[in-house]
Amino acid sequence: MRTLVRRDYDRAFEQVDAVVMPTSPTSAFRIGEKSEDPLLLYLTDVFTVSANLAGLPALSVPCGLTPNTLPIGLQLTGKPFDEATLLRVGDSYERDTNWWKACPNL
């Protein structure tokens, strides 16, 4: 499975410097809100698993807030051993947006 996931990323990296996707299939939820449903908690990490399986660097940056002011993350996945490019992409995104300044209502 790791080989197949890595092969898909390798094909993508022939055309792009980074793969961009949501960090999670849902926005953040309030502390304790989903603690009764361990499967749902597990599934919130589903988009981050592929980078781990492929052994690739990844980072998450803020990219917005829901109408209820809960944070939304944007995941960037980079080429093997090319953390510098990945960090430059994340830095450029944050410099060109103001999402990193937004705070959820606590």
pLDDT tens digits, one per residue of 19-31: 999 999 887 777 7
φ and ψ at 63, to 5 degrees?
-135, 10
Residue pLDDT, tens place only, 61-73 = 988 888 888 888 9
Task: Read off φ and ψ for residue 44, nearest 5 degrees.
Answer: -65, -20
Number of domains in the chain: 1
Residue 80 lies in a domain: yes
Residue 92 Cα distances to 2, 11, 21, 67, angstroms: 30, 24, 16, 25
| Predicted model pTM | 0.83
Residue with tokens 């300044």: 101
Is residue 106 in some structural domain?
no
Does 47 map to a domain? Answer: yes
> What is the distance between the alpha carbons of residues 62 and 60, in angstroms, rounded to a whole number?
7
Would residue 64 count as lying in a domain?
A: yes
pLDDT beneath 70, residues of the chain = 34, 104-106
| Contact between 105 and 49 (Cβ < 8 Å) | no
- What residue numbers bound the domain in which 29 lies? 2-101
